[in-house]
Structure 1
Amino acid sequence: MKLPSFGVEEELLLVSASGDPLPRSRAVVADLEDLDVALELSRAMVEINTPVCTTADELHDHLVHMRSQLASAAAEEGGRLLAIAVPPHGRAAQSITKKPRYQELARKWGLLAREQGVCGCHVHVGVPDKETATKVSNHLRPWLPVLLALSANSPIYLGQDTGFASWRWLMTTRWPSAGPPPYLESADHYDALVAMHLAAGTLIDEQMVYWDIRPSSHLPTVEVRVSDVPLTVDETVLIATLVRAIVLTALDDGSKGPTLEPEVLRAAYWLAARDGLTARGLDVLRAEAMPMADVILELVRHVEPALRQLDAVDLVRDGVQRSLREGNGAVKQRKAFREGNDVVDLTEVTGQS
């Protein structure tokens, strides 16, 4: 089997020298013609889109280059670029980008849209067609809380510790079609659910399907959207490689994937969002509570044959052990906050970050 290609979208936050959201995204990206960058709903956010990649090293190099170029462009506009999933300072309501679609979102969803200045990491993995994407989605569902726990990078919001490792996840799940996707019987089932939302007015278009996994509306990929934007490039590459390995495992399996008790999946999400790496999680396939570290290692074991095919066993094992030993963005932000340090300094994109 040909190994699936992959790529990443990273949303990054622009802030002023004082750390408040800086609504200058259009000016920051104006001269970055050689990079695939996009404006987001909030004028204080910018999205980078890597090229299609076939190796983890390739993905790493693209992310380092793109983050660095964007950080330099932000500095030229008097700003700072942060790899952080929610604004650490300022106020909740953000300025909306002046694009017709975003302005319509603001009109119809009010404060919900204006408070959506949150930054995620979306991993795209190539699949043959939408039918395959729906089957892969079912295989990915059990591992979504694990990916959230690994990437959690949003405990500090507007100057306070929220009590959650991923406050971003709590904010994003307020939308009509957000959070874990339903179990999908087929591509027709997916299309019918989207059509229902459109007819009801809970979506304005298919791009508003904010489920944590979805068939891409414009690319031949399955898109996994559960993660906070990680603090470091190494963490992003780890998340993307795990997602790619789960997809490859699903493609080798060929079945529709396991059904899950929705309440177990909900509880697993809640634990991952609240505690991240630092406490207990749930093995959703067995509805069994265990330390989150053990649930993560269950995922690594599940995809180990795929990791061997991808020549990524050491990358993933080393990356997971480093995260468990040193902490992810949420752990490091909380430590800085407790010690009286500004998380802006910790999360600013510089050099190889």
Structure 2
Amino acid sequence: MTAQTLGVEEEFHLVDPATGSLAASSTVADAAVLGQPGPHVQPEISTTQLETATGVCSTLGEVRAALRETRAEAVSAAQRDGLTVLAASTHPSSSVGDLVLTDAPRYRVMVQRWARLAQTQDICGTHVHVGVDDLDTAVHVMDRARPWLPLLLAMTGSSPFHEGADTGYESWRTVWWSRWPVSGPPEALGDADGYRAVVAQLVASGMVPDGSQLYWDLRPSTHVPTVEFRMGDVCTDLDDVVLHAALCRSLVAVLAADEGPAADVRPEVLRAARWKAARAGLTGDLVDPVTASLVPAETAVRSLVRFVSDDLAERGDLDEVTALAEQLLGRGTSAARQRRTMHRTGDAGAVVRDLLEVGGTLPA
């Protein structure tokens, strides 16, 4: 069995727990730059953000425990300045005018390269790393996973609001992120040499210094032997993060063993499927990864679980993942919950308070 290990990175907004407002903190950001909050907390480009990373996990139980630990570390780090962290990809009422960049060489270089794109990056995401044997395996999986990425995205939507407005999308983060020329679904690469050739051409063009700054929805890691799923919004509910990680890992295992040719999916079709997933999430129809036709969201989700069911069963995860998927279909995504709260209360602060409670990040 391949794809034995996985790890999860989550990005969070810093907020004032009393008011729910977005809060910049150089105190928290500087401590994260120096590694003071703990081994799993890292800075992000804005002083209104923090990132966490679990260690290497082998079971879903380990993933769940690690996520509880890293979220607790992030809350503790934020409390250095009386703040806490918000598990959602956009803040319901913030504006880009609130952003102050973290003072670190990496982020100064990003601003120099990307200018206003980097200066207005007020979105957060979830990244799942799945262990693979080598770069050829990573590219083999990437080429075959491309049609499944929009569906995985649709199951994570948590960014319906931006700058105080309802965007009409479940994942506005996806639309916002699409402005970057090195984001989105990658084209089929063929093998490790094909990947290296693309990276070399992008480096020669001056677009990126190396593969670590390719922000594709799916990419090989440049520092650990994994393939990294990057399309997901931040899942407010811990159950949804565990579900997302489990499906990513089993998809890697199934596709790594697939000796047939990768599906020839036109980039226009893949972009359309990605947009549809960002727009409707689980509230409408989605593009079926196999037939490229529109199907109800619940049909697509259950098809994905069936597609990887043998691998899930071999790991002893099938019952848990099936239950988590049905739970998600029954209650909807974080984006759907945020809209319900906003429509009921008319108060962005109430949305934030609910997100803090569901995400387990209310300070003690």
Query: Structure 1 CA distance, aligned partners of 2:41 and 2:295?
Result: 40
- Checking the alignment, whether the CA contact within 8 Å between 1:21 and 1:89 is kept in structure 2 is no
Range that drifts further, 256-265 or 223-232: 256-265
Instruction: From 21, 24, 34, give the equivalent of 1:22.
Output: 24
Secondary structure of the residue aligned to 2:257 is helix
Which residue does 1:67 correspond to in 2? 71
Please identify, of 333-342 and 178-187, the stretch whose mean Cα deviation from structure 2 is larger: 333-342
User: Partners in 2 of 1:204 and 1:113 — Cα distance?
Assistant: 16
> Residues 268, 178 of structure 1: CA spacing in aligned structure 2 closer, same or farther, 3 A cutoff?
same
In the aligned structure 2, how far is the partner of 1:3 from the partner of 1:207? 21
User: Structure 2: how far apart are the matches of 1:2 and 1:351?
Assistant: 31
State the alpha-carbon separation in 2 of the partners of residues 100 and 69 from structure 1: 24
TM-score (norm 1): 0.95
Q: Does 1:109 align with 2:114?
A: yes
1:181-209 CA-partner distances (Å, limit 9, x unpaired): 11111111111111111111222332210
Aligned position for 2:12 = 12
Matched, 1:125 2:125: no
Classify the secondary structure of the residue corresponding to 1:8: strand
Aligned to 1:325: 330
Distance in 2 of aligned mates of 1:3 and 1:73: 32
* Contact 1:152–1:276 (CA under 8 A) maintained in structure 2: yes
Secondary structure of 1:348 counterpart? helix
User: For the Cα contact (< 8 Å) 2:3–2:250, is it kept in 1?
Assistant: no
Which residue does 2:58 correspond to in 1? 54
CA apart distance, 1:2: 5.3
Unmatched segments (≥5 aa) in structure 1: none
Query: Would you say the 8 A contact 1:152–1:165 is kept in 2?
Result: yes
Query: Alignment partner for residue 306 of structure 1, among 301, 311, 331?
Result: 311
Q: Is structure 2 residue 186 aligned with structure 1 residue 181?
A: yes
Q: CA deviation at 1:98?
A: 1.3
Residues 1-353 of structure 1 mapped to structure 2, 5 A cutoff: 1=1, 4-16=4-16, 17-18=18-19, 19-24=21-26, 25-27=28-30, 29=32, 32=36, 34-93=38-97, 94-339=99-344, 340-341=346-347, 342=349, 343-348=351-356, 352=360
Q: Deviations over 1:18-44 (max 9, x none)?
A: 312423432564675543221111121
User: Alpha-carbon deviation of 1:167?
Assistant: 0.5
Q: How much identity, in percent, do the aligned residues show?
A: 38
Q: Tell me, which stretches of 5 or more residues in structure 2 are unaligned?
A: none
| Aligned equivalents of 1:276, 1:2: Cα separation in 2 | 30
Equivalent residues of 1:23, 1:42 under 8 A apart: no
What's the CA shift for 1:242? Answer: 0.2
Amino acid in structure 2 at the alignment position of 1:65: E
Question: Which is further off, 22-31 or 45-54?
Answer: 22-31
* Aligned-partner Cα distance in 2 for 1:352–1:308: 30
User: Distance in 2 between the 1:76 and 1:238 partners?
Assistant: 31
Residues paired across the two proteins, number: 353
Q: What amino acid is aligned across from residue 356 of structure 2 in structure 1?
A: E
